[in-house]
Amino acid sequence: MKLDILTDPNPLLRQANRDLNAADLATEEMRNFIASLTETMYASDGVGIAAPQVGKSVNLCVIAKNFSNSKDKDLVLVNPEWEKRAIAKIWGEEGCLSVPGLYGKVRRYKKIRVNALDEYGQTVEFEADDFFARVLQHEIDHLNGILFIDKAKDIYHIDKNL
C-alpha cells in the first residue's frame, strides 16, 4: 500500500525516533509497514526512504537495491549508526521526497561504516562509498530529524510540472 509522504515543514520530520528490537520486527504489522514503505519509495522514484517521512517515528529506513551494495535486494536498516572511514568529504547534489522541488549540494563523507539490524533483527555491518554512502547519510539524518536543506548550498527549485 502506498503511503502518504510528509513534506517539510512537519514536526514529525524534526524529531528523534524510537529504536526497534527483534520482537517489533517479527510482527506482521511491521512486515507490512516495511513492504508499504518500500512500495512508496519506488512509487515516488526515491532511492531511499526513512520511516518518519511517512509519519512513523521509528529508526528504520530502506535503500533501493540499485543504489546499495546488495544489488538483488532492497536494503532495510533498523537503528542504523555510521562512522566515517576516511576524512574525505565530497559535495554532491541531493533532493528529498519530503522537500519536493528543491535541490542543492551537500558535503558528505566519501566512505563510511554502517552498523544496524536488518529486517529480521540480525546485526549487519558494512562499508559504503560514494553515492551509496551519501544516500545512507541522508536517510540516517532523517532518523535524527535532519533534512538535507539544513546542510545544503546552492539550493534551487525545479517545478516538476514544467
The minimum distance between CB 18 and Zn ion, in angstroms, equals 19
CA 80 – CA 61 distance, rounded (Å): 8
Is 139 one of the catalytic residues? yes
Pick 77 or 96: Cβ nearer Zn ion: 96
The minimum distance between CB 23 and Zn ion, in angstroms, equals 28
- Point out which span in 55-63, 95-103, 113-121, 123-131 binds Zn ion (CB under 5 A): 95-103
DSSP string, 53-85: GGT--BSEEEE-GGGSS-TTSPEEEEEEEEEES
> What distance lies between CA 11 and its chain's CA centroid?
17
The catalytic residue among 93, 119, 127, 139 is 139
Name the closest residue to Zn ion (Cβ): 96
Pick 41 or 116: Cβ nearer Zn ion: 41
Angle at 162 between CA 93 and CA 6, to 5 degrees: 60
Q: Which of residues 19-58 bind Zn ion (CB under 5 A)?
A: none
CB 103 within 8 A of CB 95: yes
Pick 63 or 117: Cβ nearer Zn ion: 63
* Look-up of cell digits 520482537: 23
Amino acid at the residue 127: E
**Contacts (Cβ under 8 Å, ≥6 apart) of 29:** none
The minimum distance between CB 137 and Zn ion, in angstroms, equals 11
- 13, 96, 135, 143: which one contacts Zn ion (CB under 5 A)? 96
Residues at the site binding Zn ion, with contacts judged by CB under 5 A? 96
Residues marked active site are found at 139
